[in-house]
Amino acid sequence: MWRRFRERYDITDVILAFVGFSILAFVVIGSIATLQSGKYTLRQWLDFVVSGISQGSVYALIALGYTLVYGILRMINFAHGEVFMSGAFAGFFIATGLNQTGLLDQNWLLGLILVAFSAMLTSVIVAVLLERIAYRPLRRAPRLVPLITAIGASFFLQNTVRGLFGSQFRSYPDISELEGRINIGDVLVIQYVQLLVMAAAALLMIGLYLFVQRTRTGKAMRAVSEDKDVAALMGIDVDAIIVRTFVIGAAMAGAAGVLYALMFRQIGFLMGFVPGIKAFTAAVLGGIGNIPGAMLGGLFLGVVESLGPTLFLDGLGVPAPNQLKDAIAFTMLVLVLIFRPTGILGERLARAKA
């Protein structure tokens, strides 16, 4: 029995399992201690959940860009966070102009549609330029080469935006119609902006899923994901499909940039880094290359990031647990990678069924 165990598992597996179960035990003990303290009401817990879902919706939209590109090219586009940032900046300038003309106050819904469209268009232009200039010449190169190129493109876009618009933070204009809230009984409060973010993200994600599953372009994308050479032999324009994949992922990121700015109000040239890394984490959590997995991973990460610090750490007497939300989020990633390396719904491999 001992010999069989040693043949199946090595010391690395044992250490990883020990670390994973230790973290899991810490989480369970902290959660029990927090709940037993009775410090937080049901309304406060639900506030954490609603906040996490709205924030996770943004992560999911960004994660779709990572998972789409990986599904087609088997590469991680680490400049995708800056595509998200460029959309937020474009939306800011359009929103400021509409606010000065009074359109944002007179018809806020039309104004937000124009802002979102401008942001998505800008993100699409940036992503297409990245694909054409930085990634297409390296398509046959070893995987490490486009990865390093993506990191370099990320720094280039950050510093370009910093040079053009400065390093100061900028705030989106106030929209009075989004400052209210809905009270459902005495236990649930949803802010209008949170409701807008969740509804818009849900519509975009459902639309994307139906597009990939039901349209001719979506079927072509899945065929290219299976095998580029065979897809080309069947008459599919592989280059065009790859560009369309970047376009769709960038459009989701541009919309996410506006929704993020509406929730957190401030934008800056570094704003794409942390949300981009967390969105990549969400894609890995759900199963990289898996579209429903990216959506689920984003929502899961958002809820854990919002709920986790208080639930896991407050009962253990940790001061200011909310400052550790990033550590909590990436700890969840470690747990998933230890116990289910392919993600919640499983990684979409090249040989997976389309």
Write down all domains in the chain, each with its CATH number in brackets. Answer: 42-339 (1.10.3470)
Tens of pLDDT, residue by residue over 15-42, are 877 877 888 888 889 889 988 888 888 8
Under 8 Å between Cβ of 325 and 307: no
Helix, strand, or coil (residue 199): helix
**Buried-state track 211-246, b at ≥16 Cβ within 10 A, e below 16:** ebeeeebbebbbbbbbebeebeeeebebeebbbbbb
For 307-351, the DSSP string reads HHIIIIIGGGT-SSGGGGHHHHHHHHHHHHHHH-TT-SS----TT
Query: Rounded mean pLDDT of 196-225?
Result: 91
Q: What is the DSSP letter of 182?
A: E
Under 8 Å between Cβ of 348 and 287: yes
Q: How far is C-alpha 192 from the chain's CA centre? A: 21
pLDDT value, residue 5: 58
When mean pLDDT is compared over 143-147, 180-184, 267-271, the highest value belongs to 267-271
Tens of pLDDT, residue by residue over 226-254, are 888 888 888 889 889 999 999 999 999 99
Query: Rounded mean pLDDT of 199-223?
Result: 91
Query: Where is average pLDDT lowest: 38-42, 134-138, 317-321?
Result: 317-321
pLDDT value, residue 1: 60
CA–CA separation, 70 vs 64, rounded Å?
Answer: 10
Amino acid at 202: A
Burial of 346 (0-12, 13-18, 19+ CB in 10 A): middle
